[in-house]
């Protein structure tokens, strides 16, 4: 029997018990009056009392079944919720692993980049390279601005704040590290063209000046 059927049968048995109790009261009164009159009382009261006891046993059994069904339903609901939560957690765990891997790679690559930059920046600057976009990556007592700009470019200021980076840099000023390095390379290419433009060879000088004019036009 399901919960609906048990509820229906409990209602029916409850009504049956009320009817039997009323009949029992009447039978007891009749039995008392019979004894008073010196007559043998009928056995109706005893039969009704037995019937009521059986009905009450049935009610108790159905109530137990109802409680078991309710507990079973609750356990099933808890099981479904736990399984759904476990499935969601498993999916999040995969994303968490991907984040951990990305952070490990970021830390390793950033360390290697900063070390290479620290080694090269003097040479690049001395050769005429514009390192203003990357040199602040080497500061020890302040935020590495190029990295922060790259973080904001990748995920916005909200992403940077989630990493604990509180910065006045706005998204419109964000830039990738590759973009910053491209600006360094562009300044070095321009420096090479300036050197060639000063060449005593007319063809070399002319081509270099043409390339410089083209760069100025694109800018």
Percent of the chain with pLDDT over 70: 97
From residue 208, alpha-carbon distances to 195, 202, 217 in Å are 8, 10, 14
The model's pLDDT over 42-59, given as tens digits with 9 standing for 90+, comes to: 888 888 899 999 999 999
More confident residue, 139 or 177: 177
pLDDT greater than 80 at residue 219? no
Confidence of residue 13 (pLDDT cuts 50, 70, 90): very high
**Nearest to residue 116, comparing CAs of 134, 142, 102?**
134
∠ Cα 117 183 207 (to 5°): 120
pTM assigned to the model? 0.61
**Nearest to residue 40, comparing CAs of 30, 50, 25, 26?**
30
Confidence of residue 143 (pLDDT cuts 50, 70, 90): confident
Confidence of residue 218 (pLDDT cuts 50, 70, 90): low
Domains in the chain: boundaries: 3-89, 127-218
Average pLDDT for residues 138-167, to the nearest whole number?
85
């Amino acid at each position: 029997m399901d919960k609906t059927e048990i509820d229906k049968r409990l209602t029916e048995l409850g009504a049956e018990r009320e009817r039997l109790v009323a009949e029992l009261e009447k039978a007891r009164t009749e039995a008392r009056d019979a004894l008073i009159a010196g007559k043998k009382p009928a056995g109706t009261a005893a039969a009704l009392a037995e019937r009521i006891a059986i009905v009450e046993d049935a009610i108790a059994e159905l109530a137990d079944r109802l409680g078991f069904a309710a507990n079973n339903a609750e356990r099933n609901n808890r099981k479904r919720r736990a399984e759904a939560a476990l499935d969601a957690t498993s999916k999040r765990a995969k994303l968490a692993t991907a984040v951990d891997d990305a952070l490990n790679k970021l830390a390793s690559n950033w360390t290697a980049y900063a070390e290479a930059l620290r080694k090269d920046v003097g040479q690049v600057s001395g050769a005429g390279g514009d390192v203003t976009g990357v040199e602040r990556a080497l500061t020890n007592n302040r935020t590495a601005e190029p990295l922060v700009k790259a973080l904001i470019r990748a995920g916005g200021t909200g992403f940077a704040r989630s990493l604990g980076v509180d910065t006045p840099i706005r998204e419109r000023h964000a830039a990738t590290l590759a973009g910053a390095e491209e600006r360094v390379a562009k300044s070095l290419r321009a420096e090479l063209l300036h050197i060639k433009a000063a060449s005593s060879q007319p063809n070399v000088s002319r081509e270099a000046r043409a390339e410089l004019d083209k760069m100025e036009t694109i800018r």
